[in-house]
Structure 1
């Protein structure tokens, strides 16, 4: 951090807090006390109204703030919530940058705006599922994947599939060219990559990736590939129908299953249709509704559900 950046950081820190001691400023900026004393003097000489109170610390004169940008309360809340989201969902590098950005945003807000922003922030909380897993495997993987994308390097990893292959295996090794990352509220972080094994673009849930390494092999993202405009091919060609107890229709809707296509009341039942790549993708979800659901088609899936129920009965 050069002197100009340091002087700006001191002003922003004093804007953010009513009072800061020289020791606190030195610790925050990672410099000596003597440097802080010199910087504060330089700021005072340049016209910044810094007050020094013996035994208490430094503060800015009431009403003074540095306004490189002005924000409304709503704008400030939006930016700070965005920084909070990044701190919770990204890898350590972006998390540190988000933390730094949040402190800078808070520093340039006038006191009334900052206090109102903090009040509103206190009434909003971003929740995340599987927080422990997200903090470990997913965040570590995100950092490695970002590094590989920046360097144009392929990655090698073990992938743990939710649905087993035809041979019963759920674990595969993949070498891919990472094209981009996307975040989905239901699935979390997804890696979009060209898979050498499948010779096509595939999607991988980042939390299901393990033993991730960056290889020495390079790749180039095709010029025609645009992550923002990319739409995956819909390969869900199998139709599954089920009748739910009408009393739990609202719960079925709230579950917002990715494969759900239509839903309507028929008599005293709630008729729902799904489109899937393979019925196994719905098995655990259907079983979770217990006696409140009956699969009507296809017949092969009805038999599969019945077989799973028989296995469950044996265990009990």
Structure 2
């Protein structure tokens, strides 16, 4: 991976997590800690508001986001597969939220990737699964919220 691609990937990693340790960046890109520090400095010099907490890691200033400029075709295809799985295997609420999110992702994709997804959409399907008639709608979202809130469910 060349340096520009690596620095872009580090920025995406910082946008994807609330805190990223230099060691995590080092291991992911198989680079030395010294190179991590240099790459972070390049991001800072480019005007990216990187916050460094010694001994804790790096984060971006609250509210700072850059939209991804493009996705690899493999990444775009994985979104399509995930969309099919979410539609078939989760409840209506989760499905609705996922569709809303995926539309936002598609809005920043290149035209060629959107066209490829439209073509592949008819080629990919998930086998119908058994959903019992007593399947409570929106139960997955309720479970996830309670897990995050550390609440007990019955």
**TM-score category of the 2 structures, normalised to the smaller one:** 0.3 to 0.5
Q: Which has the higher contact order (CA 8 A, sep 6+)?
A: 2
Q: TM-score scaled to structure 1, two decimals?
A: 0.25
Which structure shows the bigger proportion of residues in helix conformation? 2
Bigger radius of gyration:
1
Q: TM-score scaled to structure 2, two decimals?
A: 0.48
